[in-house]
Amino acid sequence: MYIGVDYYPEHWSKERWELDALLMHSAGFNVVRMAEFSWVFMEPEEGKFQFDWLDEVLDLLAKHEIQAILGTPTAVMPAWMAKKYPDSLAVDKYGNRLVWGVRKNNCFSSMSYNLLSERIIKTMAEHFSKISNVIGWQIDNEFGGPICYCEICHKNFQEWLKNKYQSIENLNKSLGTHFWGHKFNYWNEIPIPDDMNTHNPGLCLDWKRFCSWMNVKFQHNQVKILRELCPKHFITHNFMGLYPDINYYDLSEDLDHVSWDNYPVWKDNPFNEKQEIFYGASLSADVMRGLKQKNFWIMEQTAGPGGWGSFGRNTLPGEIKKISYQQLAHGADGIIWFRWRTCTAGREQYWHGLLGHDGKPLRRYKEAAETSREFHMIENEIKDTAIKTQAAIIYDYDSIWATQIQPSFDGNNYVENIHRYYNALLRQGINVDIIKQDEDFSKYKIIIASSLYILKKSTADKITTYVKNGGIFLTDFRSGVKNETNICYDITLPGLLTDVLGIEIEEYSAIPLNTEYPIKNVDGNEYHAIKYMDWITVKNAEVLANYQVQYLNNFAALTKNNFGKGRAYYAGTIIKEENFYDELIENILKDSGISSVIKPPLGVEISIRQDSSKILIFLINHTINKKEVKVPSGAEILINLERIKDTIILEPFGVEVIKIKKVL
C-alpha cells in the first residue's frame, strides 16, 4: 500500500528537508510526488540542467524509506521559453496570445514547445532512471486545456478532419453541411467552431474530439520516451474525475494505471445527513477505475480547505480518514495527500496541506498519520483485491459533448442524469462498474445507459443481443437520438432501440421551469416529472407509470419490455423525487437476481473489494451521527480488532472494514 504526500522541497529551505522527511516517515508515509512544476529549477537556462537539488532530496527521502514519483514538468514552461519562443504560448479565440504567468498556457501544436518538452523529459529520464527510490512518473499535470486557436492548430484541425473523412464530399455528407448552405469545397475553408451554441453541431463535436486528441497525442510522445529510458518505472497521469473535456478512455490507454485528484465538493452544511455529495467522489472513483477496468491511485487527496483567492470549509475531524477510506473502498491502491505543507507564496496560498503555513504537525497531520497506520495494518488483506460487480453504467464522452453542444432542454446535465441511478444503486449497497460503449456487456446482469445521446449502430446491436440473451437494460430520455457525426437519426425515437424497448416516441416536450407534471406508477405511488418528458406510446412494452395530466394521460412515463430472455426498461422523464429511483432500482435488482450483502442505513456507504478467498466490506459513515449497521454473521472486523455479532456502531465519520472468508 502506497501512502504519502505531494512534496515541493523547492518551496522551502534545505534546512527544513530533513525534518520533513522525518515527519513523513513518522507518519508511515512511503511515497511522495515531486517536480511536476519544477521545470525552471531543473533547466534554469535553455540547455543548462541542474538536478543536484532533487538528487539531494531523493537521497534524504531514501534514508527515511520513502520512494518518489516524478512529474514531467510540462504543465508550466519557464519564463525564458515564453520570451524566446512566443509560439509556445496558446492563442485565444480573439487572436490574442496568452500572457505567460499561469499554468496551462501552452500550444500543443507549437514545435518549439514540443521539442523543448521532449528534451527536458529525456534528460530527466536519463538522469533518474537508475535512482533506486524513483518508482514512477506522472505525465504533466491535470491535462485540460488550454484550447488554442492559433493558425497551426487550425491547420492541424483541418488535417485531422481530412484524415478522418478522406474526402470533402464525405465530410459534407457526414456533417450535414447542406444546412444554411455551409457546404465546403476545400479543406482550408473549414473554420474552428469557436461558439458551440451556433456552429454546425457535427463540426463542434469533431472540434471537441480534436482538442481531446491533442492532449492524448502530447502524452503519448512523453510516454514513448519514458518507456524507452525507464522501463522499470510505472507511468501514470493525474486525471480529474468527472472532467468532461478530454476522452479519458483514450488518455488512459498508454498508462500503466490511472491516478486522479480527489477534491470532494464542500457544501455549506456538512451536518445534513441527507446530503449525498460524497457519491460524487464515489462516481469519480468508479469512472477512473472503469477507464482501464483496473485499480487506480489517488495522486492528490483533500487535506484541508481548498482555494486560490478564497478558501472553502475545512475538513472536520474524521473527514480526512473517511475520504481516504472511500477511495480505498472503490479501488485505490495508493493515497497521496495534496499537499505536504501549505505554501506561503503564490496563487495557492489558501490550498491547505496536512501542515499549515507554520509547518507544525497538528490535527490534519495526526489524522493522516492515523489513517496511514490503519492502511498499513490491513495492507496484506487489501493486496490483490478488486471490485467485482454485476451492474454497469455506460459513460460516454461523445454523449457528454453532444449534450453540451445541444442539451435539448434547459437543465439537461449528463452527469446528473447518471447520478440518479448510480446513487440509488449505492443506497442499495451495490457496487457499479463504469464502462464505455465498446465494453463486453455479457459480464453484467444489469446495464444502465442514461442519456446515451450519441448511439453507434454497433452499440445498439450489442444492446439488442445483450437483452435477447437475458440481460437487464435500462435507458432513458434523449438516448439514441444521434449518430457518431451528431446527425439525428431519421427514424422515430427511440430509433435503433425501438424493438428492444417495445415503444415509440412520436413527440416530446420540455417542461417549463418551475412546472411539475404528476405521474402515477402501477403501485399507485405518485411522483412529479420535471424538465422534460417523452410522450411514450407502447407497442409491446408494459406501462409502469403514466402521466396524470390532461391530454397526456394516455402516454407512458416508464415502461418495461420483455425481449428474448431479458428485459428493457425506459424512463421518459426526470422525476423530482429521489425515492422514485430507489424503487425503480430495487425492482430491477430483484428482476436480475442481484442482492446486496448489506443494505446500508441513510448516510452510510458500502463498497466491496474481493479476491479468490475473501471479500472485504468497507463501511463508511458520511454523517456526524452514530450509525448502526447490521453485518453478516461470522464476519471478522479488521480496524478496531473487536469481535462482533451482527451489528457495528459507526462513530460520526467513522469507518470499518470487515472480512468474510468466501467469494460472493
Q: Which residues are catalytic?
A: 142, 300
Peptide bond into 347 cis (omega under 30): no
Number of Cβ atoms within 10 Å of the Cβ of 408:
16
Spatial CA neighbour of 597 closest among 581, 610, 588, 582: 610
**β pairing state of 31-34 and 67-71:** parallel
Say if CB 5 and CB 320 are below 8 A apart: no
Say if CB 83 and CB 67 are below 8 A apart: no
Upper half-sphere CA count for residue 419 (Cβ side, 13 Å): 15
Number of Cβ atoms within 10 Å of the Cβ of 198:
9
d(CA 615, CA 482): 42
> Where is 595: in which H helix or E strand?
none
For residue 275 the three cell numbers come to 446530503
Look-up of cell digits 534545505: 14
Question: 3-class DSSP state for residue 208?
Answer: helix
Residue/partner pairs of 366-369 with CB below 8 Å, 24 or more apart: 367/317, 367/318, 367/320, 367/321, 368/27, 368/303, 368/320, 368/337, 369/26, 369/27, 369/28
Say if CB 345 and CB 572 are below 8 A apart: no
d(CA 307, CA 343): 12
Q: What is the largest CA-CA distance in the chain?
A: 78
